[in-house]
Amino acid sequence: MRALFSYGVAFVILILAGAWLATGSLVMGGNGPGNGETPIVSLIEGKEHGPIATQLADAGVLAQHETTETIDPHLTIAQRNELKTGANTALQSVRTSTYLVQPMSIEVSLRGRTEAKASVGAVAETAGIVDTVHVTKGQKVAVGDKLCTLDQGTRAAAVAQAKAGLAQADAGLSQAQSDFDTNAELRGKGLAAPNTARQLEVALSAAKANVSSAQAGLDNAQAELDRTEIKAKVAGVVQAPLANAGAMLGQGQPCATIVQLDPMVFVGQVPEARIRVAKLGLKATIETITGQSVDGQVTYISATADPATRSFPVEIEFANGDAAIRDGITATAKVTMGSAPGHLLPQSVLTLNDTGVLGVSTVVDGIVKFVPVTIASDTREGVWVLGLPASTDVITVGQEYVVDGQAVDATNVAAQVPNATAS
């Protein structure tokens, strides 16, 4: 009797469990939320919405499943929020500035050194012993300043003798001229024979020749005396070698060396990739390692490349009136090669799209548009970029919250036209 009771209870439990399961659903995995879910009672009846399923549904005991709308996992958070909230939601607010195209200076940086325009040796034009040295090493001199004085020796006496010879020749010329004039007067009165004129003309010509010869002798003697004074032919700074008093200088030996520091030149190398745009007369700004800055222009471009570096030597001449820049200082030169249209933007507006392309987010007719750009140069004032339209509304605030193609509420601040130079 007890066993019959146990089987009866178990049968009732089985019936109740089956009825409860019949109100549930069978889920086929792998189809996503809302897909693959089927009521078990429909499987028993062999069709959906059968009489039993309908009665159970009316009774409120049949599980109901609503299909959930799927969301593309590739959408950004901003796009998902826009889909969820619908078109009536307020647009994302951004701030824009209008950037206009402007000439962008194309500059090429060169490394090199400063170099004196010339190093001139002040040499003796005649042999002699150095009597006096008028300068010291490092002293600035101008054209015509005395450097060394040689012992005059007999040169002063030669000048005095040449002057005396010139005076004697002048006296002879005066006498010959007087004789010629007197003879001409006498011949005019018929008191002298006509054939006497020829002899006096020869004497007068000889006297003039004697004067010219005496003058040349004086000039030579004076020039030889003047050569004892060695003077600066160029302005600059005195450098070694410098003669010492009492030393014997032969003709052509230097008394001093003058380094010409005004003008000076910057010597650098232009890469072969840029040699096509290098031209004489281009403006340049030179900055030395000592912090000095001067302006100059290209005065020389080599016609042949350096075999080792495949670059072309160039020289940029600049004024150095105060001799503040010395010879051999390491320096850099920025040569202006021309200009190209570009936009100067703040670095903060640059961004990357989903594929890693560098660009900026702009607004066109209320829609975000990503525009790729190419950085031409980076300056203190901002970044010069290429690839933008002439007038561009660039998002300056809020670009990280929007995507390409999204509608936004854009507030334009102002037109931005900074003044700067690319390098």
CA proximity to 369, closest of 406, 404, 396, 398: 404
Q: What is the pLDDT of residue 398?
A: 86
Is the CB of residue 407 less than 8 Å from the CB of residue 91? yes
Q: What is the pLDDT of residue 423?
A: 46
- Tokens of residue 374, six digits: 């190419």
CA 390 to chain centre: 24
CA 205 to chain centre: 72
| pTM flag (> 0.85) | no
Q: Which domains does the chain have, with CATH numbers?
A: 2-59 (no CATH), 92-105+340-416 (2.40.420.20), 152-227 (1.10.287)
CB hemisphere CA count around 258 (13 angstroms): 24
Q: What is the pLDDT of residue 241?
A: 83
Per residue of the chain (423 residues), give pLDDT as tens: 666 667 666 666 666 555 555 555 555 554 544 555 666 656 566 566 666 566 656 665 555 555 455 556 666 665 666 555 554 557 888 899 999 999 887 778 889 999 988 888 888 888 888 888 998 888 888 888 999 989 888 888 888 888 888 888 888 888 888 888 888 887 777 777 777 778 888 888 888 898 898 899 888 988 888 888 898 888 888 988 888 888 888 888 888 888 888 889 999 998 887 788 788 888 999 999 999 999 999 999 999 998 888 899 999 999 988 888 888 899 999 888 777 889 999 988 998 888 889 999 999 988 999 999 988 888 888 899 988 998 999 999 888 888 888 998 888 886 555 554 444
Q: What is the pLDDT of residue 18?
A: 56
Amino acid residing at 178: S
Beta bridge partners of 385: 343, 375
Q: What is the pLDDT of residue 32?
A: 47
